[in-house]
Amino acid sequence: MSFDLEKDLQARRAQGLYRTRKTLEAPQGAEVKVDGKPYLAFCNNDYLGLASHPEVSAAMASATSEYGTGGGASHLVIGHSRAHHQLEEELAAFTGRERALLFSNGYMANLGVISALLGKEDAVFQDRLNHASLLDAGLLSGARFQRYLHNDVVNLEARLSRTDARRKLIVTDGVFSMDGDLAPLKELSELAHRHSAWLMVDDAHGFGALGAKGGGVAEHFSLNQDDLPVLVGTLGKAFGTAGAFVAGSEALIETLIQFARTYIYTTSMPPAVAEATRASLRILKEENWRREHLNKLIQFFRKECKQMGLKLMDSHSPIQPVIVGSADTAVAMSEALAAQGILVTAIRPPTVPKGTSRLRITFSAAHKQQHVEQLLDALERTVRPLQEEVA
């Protein structure tokens, strides 16, 4: 066969990088059923436990009888419903921006925004650990593309001062998806002002989990629309539904409606998903106990891990990676934990740099303290012996 797909698949297997899927047979939550077996899960991005919240589900069900199931057309034709419109207005108010615009998902939002804002005469500066969708978006835009060292403002400034591009866009994750640390947004915002650049933040993992009212890194660092003109959020994580949004100025949103191809040439999200998101936004803003409980679990986990001598990263977000080194070790640990009924994902290259394979542990307000204790017991039994073997 001319494509010889088997050869590449075999090579990937031989490298220990082969990816497979599990089948989830329960709603998302702390206790799940996977391939017929019960597990305690620490691997979803449902940080507030809203993906299976009864009020959110009820909002979706009742909206289905009002709006039916499908969006039926793109937003610019006849797919933009009252539900979408109201959600956009509520997201604008929530983020303190003039307007917000819905996209089908975060990947499309990022592709759409960067390629609508930039062209060949422009330059994009991305943190080297940015999410794949941001990196892909930078390449697609045709702008001059530079990756700066992770969270390194000095490295970025040197690059900014050398460019003669028309528009300069600095792009970063708010909370880094595989490391859990935060971007230094105050510094990045000042740098952007000094160099007449714009700052764009993808806060997929910050919304809901960070900020007193769940407003993510923008709220955490008190960054208004001037400081942070392009703010992207996803709805499939802490919001517990699906889709994404971009929040910013009137001119930014109108520009996206005119020029963002992933906005224009796609069907709107189901209106019932927008209604469900309106319900989850209310809960996300109002139920502070979810963030407080989540933070307690995170602090407890970190304290106990330190006592055990496990290698954590500088993260206070719900993403708590345990670095183990090789891809094989990470997979062996993840399998050993699964044998004890605990699901934790092994993250390997090319998602993370070589030699930094890790267990990516994520916490949710749906977890109880006792779940975290079970996780810690299993880690104690599993990770330390394996880690010492490797060292």
Ligand X SMILES: *Cc1c(COP(=O)(O)O)cnc(C)c1O
For residue 191, what are its two tokens?
């740098």
Q: By C-beta, is 233 or 332 nearer to ligand X?
A: 233
User: Does the annotation place 384 within a ligand binding site?
Assistant: no
Alpha carbons 303 and 52: distance in angstroms, whole number: 29
Place of tokens 């050993």: 336
Alpha carbons 318 and 332: distance in angstroms, whole number: 23
Q: How far is the CB of 104 from ligand X (least distance, A)?
A: 8
User: Does the annotation place 367 within a ligand binding site?
Assistant: no
Q: What residues line the site for ligand X (CB under 6 A)?
A: 105-107, 110, 131, 133, 173, 177, 202, 204-205, 234, 236, 244
Q: Is 258 exposed, middle or buried (0-12, 13-18, 19+ CB in 10 A)?
A: exposed
For residue 203, what are its two tokens?
């806060």
Cα separations in angstroms, 328 against 79, 277, 333, 354, 387: 47, 39, 9, 12, 12
User: Does the annotation place 131 within a ligand binding site?
Assistant: yes
Q: How far is the CB of 134 from ligand X (least distance, A)?
A: 7
Q: How far is the CB of 45 from ligand X (least distance, A)?
A: 7
Cα separations in angstroms, 6 against 2, 11, 146, 351: 11, 8, 34, 22
Q: How far is the CB of 51 from ligand X (least distance, A)?
A: 13
Q: By C-beta, is 111 or 379 nearer to ligand X?
A: 111
Greatest pairwise CA separation for the chain in angstroms:
61
Ordered strands of the 31-34 beta sheet: 31-34, 37-41, 342-343
Q: By C-beta, is 216 or 383 nearer to ligand X?
A: 216
Q: How far is the CB of 373 from ligand X (least distance, A)?
A: 28
Decide if 74 is catalytic.
Answer: no
Q: By C-beta, is 95 or 133 nearer to ligand X?
A: 133
Cis check: omega of the bond before 350, within 30 degrees of 0: yes
Q: By C-beta, is 87 or 379 nearer to ligand X?
A: 87
219 sits in which H/E element: helix 216-220
CA angle 223, 226, 227 (to 5 degrees): 40
Decide if 213 is catalytic.
Answer: no
Q: By C-beta, is 177 or 329 nearer to ligand X?
A: 177
Decide if 296 is catalytic.
Answer: no
User: Does the annotation place 106 within a ligand binding site?
Assistant: yes
Catalytic residue among 84, 168, 237, 371: 237
User: Does the annotation place 177 within a ligand binding site?
Assistant: yes
Catalytic residue among 53, 75, 168, 205: 205
* Residue whose C-alpha is closest to residue 281's, from 334, 240, 330: 240
Catalytic residue among 104, 115, 141, 177: 177
User: Does the annotation place 107 within a ligand binding site?
Assistant: yes
Q: How far is the CB of 238 from ligand X (least distance, A)?
A: 11
Indicate the annotated binding residues for substrate.
19, 131, 351
Instruction: Write out the catalytic residue numbers.
Output: 177, 205, 237
Indicate the annotated binding residues for pyridoxal 5'-phosphate.
106-107, 177, 205, 234
